Amino acid sequence: MNRLTVGLLFGGRSGEHEISLLSARSILDNMDRTKYSVVEIGITHEGRWLVGQNVLSAFENKNFSKLNPATLISEPSGHVIYERFQSDQGFVLRPFAKLDVVFPALHGPFGEDGTIQALFEISELAFVGAGVLGSSVGMDKAIFKQVMRANSIPVVNDLLFTRKEIEKDIDVVISKIENFGSYPFFTKPVNMGSSVGINKCKNRMQLKNGLLDAIQYDRRILIELGIENPIEIEISVLGNEFPQVSSPGEIIPGDEFYSYDDKYINGVTRLVIPAELPEYLIKKIQEYALNAYTAIDCAGMARVDFLISREPEQIYLNEINSIPGFTKISMYPKLWEISGIPFTKLIDQLIELAIDRQKENIRSIYQYRRKNK
């Protein structure tokens, strides 16, 4: 049986570049090599695509000297990664690998927001995860919350400001926020993940610093009302038209909230898997997760995050991650593990879903056909 050639794509231009490398390493270590031939494709911070031997190790060591620039070209024979190299005649392109499917282990802008998905869709190349619509809406925290409200899924109240509004008169922005509610507030870049640029602000000075930090990462900034000491719940979804949902897990942060440092540096966060919740809460969270997933036309996979206030008890859907983390500490594969799908089988299912989604996409007709009378 011929092996599928899978392009594992990692790195990227976003602030989650290093997290992408961690995810790619876990995926690579758990792929069944009897089924897949893996082509490692790295994207630098500057956006250059690189191929060669042991690309992931080269990225981990920040040594790109033996790698060559690459480009994806769709040909009648299939989808081919070409590498550019120096010859006696100058720079030339030569075929490096023909791809059957791509597994983008990319997080954040330029990887999880619909941009790379658009390239694959235009090329008619099967890829793991949501398409342009599901990726872009899932990534944009502000638009996502509007879609949730339209589907009667509870979310935390928020305000939205642009970078230029904040830079023009930050004191006016702060006054509007303080009139909106009481401290603490959370400042968040609209299009970013892994808690990059997110700050919990307990007073005016922290709010000002939080706004200035957030505008480094995005031109639109979300301000959310803080929930004191919430229960933080994550749940995994898997599938295309008929998705399934895992058991929930609880995050117990070591920091004041589940920050970037708390996730990847400090190592003091505790995971409770499965979460110790009453059955009625579990069912409601699972229902919200599936509804959110289908509402934005997500596909393949997603991790859905919730906050539960304690008094009064209220569920809030916090966000959806269309390319969840696959690191050693990531909840997405851990939740499927305890739900009966080990990591290697999970990768198999995700690749099968990608191929099935592409087969479904090419069934659509994109040219007008006159009906026979």
Superfamily in which the 147-153+228-360 domain is placed by CATH: ATP-grasp fold, B domain (3.30.470.20)
Model pLDDT for residues 262-301, shown as the tens digit of each residue:
555 556 678 999 999 999 999 999 999 999 999 999 999 9
pLDDT in tens, 218-227: 999 999 999 9
Check if the beta carbon of residue 16 is closer than 8 Å to that of residue 193.
yes
Closest Cα to residue 104, out of 293, 256, 251, 301?
Answer: 301
Q: Quick one: which H or E segment has residue 260?
A: helix 260-264
Per-residue pLDDT of the chain (373 residues; tens, 9 = 90+): 689 999 999 999 988 899 999 999 999 999 999 999 999 999 999 999 999 999 999 999 999 999 999 999 988 878 999 999 877 777 888 999 999 999 999 998 899 999 999 999 999 999 999 999 999 999 999 999 999 999 999 999 999 999 999 999 999 999 999 999 999 999 999 987 657 789 999 999 999 999 999 999 999 999 999 998 899 999 999 999 999 999 999 999 866 655 555 555 556 678 999 999 999 999 999 999 999 999 999 999 999 999 999 888 999 999 999 999 998 889 999 999 999 999 999 999 999 999 999 999 988 888 878 877 6
Report yes or no on whether pTM surpasses 0.95: no
Separation of alpha carbons 119 and 225, rounded Å: 37
Q: How far is CA 11 from CA 8, 166, 303, in A?
A: 10, 30, 20
pLDDT computed for residue 365 by the predictor: 84
Domain positions in the chain are 4-127, 147-153+228-360, 158-225
pLDDT of residue 54: 96
Q: How much is the pLDDT for 371?
A: 79
CB 139 within 8 A of CB 44: no
Cα of 132 vs its chain's centroid, Å: 13
Pairs from 271-278 (Cβ < 8 Å, separation ≥ 24)? 271/329, 271/331, 271/334, 273/247, 273/249, 273/331, 273/334, 273/335, 273/338, 274/247, 274/248, 274/249, 274/335, 274/338, 275/233, 275/247, 275/248, 275/249, 275/250, 276/250, 277/231, 277/233, 277/248, 277/250
Report phi then psi at 39, rounded to 5.
-110, 115
Which phi and psi angles does 38 have, rounded to 5°? -100, 130
Which fold does the domain 4-127 belong to in CATH? Answer: Rossmann fold (3.40.50)
User: Which residue(s) pair with 95 in the sheet?
Assistant: 82
H/E element holding 167? Answer: helix 163-168
Q: Who contacts 74 (Cβ-Cβ below 8 Å, separation ≥6)?
A: 80, 123, 124, 125
Please tell me the predicted confidence (pLDDT) of residue 1.
Answer: 60
Q: Please report where in the chains the tokens 């200035």 appear, as a residue.
A: 212
CATH superfamily of the domain spanning 158-225: ATP-grasp fold, A domain (3.30.1490.20)
Helix/strand/coil for 226:
coil
79 three-class SS: strand
Which DSSP state fits 222?
E
Please tell me what DSSP assigns to residue 107.
-
Q: What's the confidence (pLDDT) of residue 75? A: 84
CA gap 319, 252 in Å, rounded = 17
Separation CA 142–CA 104 (nearest Å): 24
Token digits for 162? Answer: 């642009």
Q: Which of 76, 69, 79, 82 is nearest to 121 (CA)?
A: 79
Q: Which of 138, 190, 192 is nearest to 13 (CA)?
A: 192
